[in-house]
A and B are shown apart, each in its own frame.
Chain A
Amino acid sequence: MSGEEFVPLSLVPLLTGICVAVACALPGNFLVLRRQALIGDAISHVVLPGIVVAFLIGGSVGTLPMLLGAAGAAVLAVGAIEAVRRLGGIETGAAMGVVFTTMFAAGVLLLEQSDTSSVHLDVEHALYGNLESLIWLDATGWGSLLDPQALGALPVELPRMAATLVLVAAFIALFWRPLKISTFDEGFARTIGLRTGALGLALVIISAIAAVAAFDAVGSIIVIAMFICPSAAARLMTNRLEHQIAWSVGFATLSAILGYVLAGYGPLWIGLQDSVSAAGMIATVSGLILALAALGGPHRRRGSAAPVG
């Protein structure tokens, strides 16, 4: 495939997909180890009402109000889950179920009641996003990567996702030791003076930022898949956290590339004319990778060795 075709049509969605996958997989490693994997599920459901409310207040689909609304909803949801858990004495799973289904229902209702037909805001879009539409119109070929004018017209999702990826990676690098210690031995972490509660909250907030930034481009389902599948598969490959992170980044990248290519060109290979949902295909590929790891990963069984740092 030539650069004239690949660069404008596929380069940006592909890079964006990789950024989303890796930005979600990095915090996902800790969420999976801390048995908080479903926080990603909850966050990606509650982002919808946040975006709708931001739209109703702002009246347009501006990027910043949307991000603020989504982030606000995510923080509200985390607070509400904690409140229901403490005030009602209800276990976390059920508290999460109550909060995220209600907020999602409220989001759908608001969406149906308000006149958002003029803009591209609907439930399907929220669920599967629109990776394929990130076309770089001004690009003419590989040379455009060095052309400031063409770069200026780059779809905004790519630089935004790249920035999010840098932020997430920086957070994990900066808090590497405390995160690692508090994930494996919270009691010990507390005795050496780490503020494990604040650290846990920071991890959730970083995950929310990754989810919110990814939401517009790729929808909520792929975000949940990327939080869990690459890091779960990586967990079955190794006992060392450093290696697990590396595996998960590799799996996430592979899912994004393979999923995007299969969605765009797979149907052509078997004689169909149109491409299928790239976000859905990326989630599917990440599931296949997890299935392979679960069937043949060297550390797939419980107790194959104690997790060591």
Chain B
Amino acid sequence: MIAEALLLQLGYNATLVTLGATLLGMAAGVGGTFLFLRKRALVSDAISHATLPGVALAFMVMVTLGGDGRNLVGLLSGAALSAVAGLLLVSWLSGRTRLAEDAAIGSVLSVFFGFGIVLLTVIQTMSSGRQAGLEGFLLGSTAGMLRSDALIIAVSAALTLALVVLMRRPLTLASFDPEYATSIGQNVPRTDLAMMGLVLAVTVVGLKLVGLILIVALLIIPPVTARFWTERTDRVVVISGAVGGVSAYVGAALSAAIPDLPTGPIIVLVGFALFALSLLAAPGRGVVSALVRHRAHQRRVHLRQGLLALAHGQPIYERMTLRLLQARGLALPDGVPTDRGRARAARALRDESRWQVIRSDPAFEAAAAQDDGLTDIETVLTADQLAEVDARLPKVGMPA
């Protein structure tokens, strides 16, 4: 069943939903990247919560006009309008009053959502039964989705993704280096506006699928995940889009295959699994690789200190040092150096004396800056410089 779902064999409707979710996930991943890089990730929280009163008002208007109120395009238009209002209020509050952006975001999201709930209770009383499905906007619902709804989601997700791809250049530039973007004549405020428009589009399209509370996750988790894998600006965008697409695809397929598995939460959890994996295993910025680097560094420090101790004929008490020396055949268990150990210790000592010469001579300032107690001096200096340094070494008769 799960394999069938992943291979899109569960019928037209499920396939449409899965493809729509995938496109939406990709658009959210790419759009969210710019938001993340502009350090405004949580603005999306305010935008998404601000859609609720719009959905409810649109429903009420449509019912008043004689419709059944559940027209998806109508509901999403209402959502977009009230989200724009929320967005404008956030920027007005944080720009024109002395409230910080987080207070502006928090107040707008809670007040709009609270007002939306008031409207929902009004709807419950005004036409019992017909509001069925509105709750789906809170947490997403694919179960009660009509074929036309699925088609609308798939098409608008594709449009949004196309828009993101079209605008990626100015968006990337403005996100990573706004000063440079301005200097080459780009209108950064307008680009920011376009970015917000994109986030808005992703949010509104995603409402029916993952719900207004969890759409935020789709905008935030993929870019954070992508950031672990690369330092290159353009690649963050691509990886983030891929992470978003994969999370949404797998999540939507799982939810279609297994009963009682709501789409929104499962998509978010798949995304989080990818995030957790990246946090642990990514090369460079991952936790495991940082740990490995730390251990390697620790070993080198211990080994070096151990060799210097051997060269000075001092006893070694530190157990990790002794173990490292022993494992490399440089010392016996009681701390007595082997022949190889003696030779390596002498080399370490000579290296250390050479560093001392360098450190005391301002002429070698650039080279001395690379001294961290571990770097082999032969990788820093040329052969000629080494000869010059050696000529100044105190003659204590160390073997070369």
Contacts and interface: CB of A to CB of B under 8 A. Distances in A.
A73 interface: no
A38 B214 contact: no
A101 B125 contact: no
A111 to B, nearest CB: 9
A93 B39 contact: yes
Contacts of B96: 294, 300-301
A105 B214 contact: yes
A90 B228 CA distance: 10
Contacts of B389: none
B125 A290 contact: no
B97 A302 contact: yes
A98 interface: yes
B36 interface: yes
A287 interface: yes
B261 interface: yes
B103 A228 contact: yes
A304 B97 CA distance: 10
A112 interface: yes
Given A127-B138, A224-B110, A283 B115 contact: yes
Interface string A181-209: 00000000000000000000000000000
A107 B298 CA distance: 42
Interface stretch (B149-157, B216-224, B369-377): B216-224
A308 interface: no
A104 interface: yes
B114 A280 contact: yes
B138 A124 contact: yes
B233 to A, nearest CB: 16
Contacts of B111: 225, 229, 283-284, 286-287, 290
Contacts of B45: 38, 41, 97
Contact of B100 (A35, A40, A276, A279): A35
A62 interface: no
A24 to B, nearest CB: 11
A154 interface: no
Nearest to A276: B121
A274 B41 contact: no
A94 B21 CA distance: 22
Given A97-B220, A102-B217, A276-B121, A300 B97 contact: yes
A87 interface: yes
A228 B109 CA distance: 10
Contact of A228 (B106, B122, B268): B106
Interface string A298-309: 011111100000
Nearest to A304: B98
15 contacts: A32-B100, A37-B103, A41-B110, A88-B227, A91-B41, A97-B44, A98-B220, A105-B217, A109-B265, A272-B122, A273-B125, A276-B118, A277-B117, A280-B118, A284-B111
Interface of B: 36, 39-42, 44-45, 93, 96-100, 102-103, 105-107, 109-118, 120-122, 125-126, 135, 138-139, 213-214, 216-217, 219-221, 223-224, 227-228, 260-262, 264-266, 268-269, 272, 275, 279, 285, 287
Interface of A: 32, 35-38, 40-41, 45, 84, 87-91, 93-98, 101-102, 104-106, 108-109, 112-113, 123-124, 127-128, 221-222, 224-225, 227-229, 232, 235-236, 263, 267, 272-277, 279-284, 286-287, 290, 294, 297, 299-304
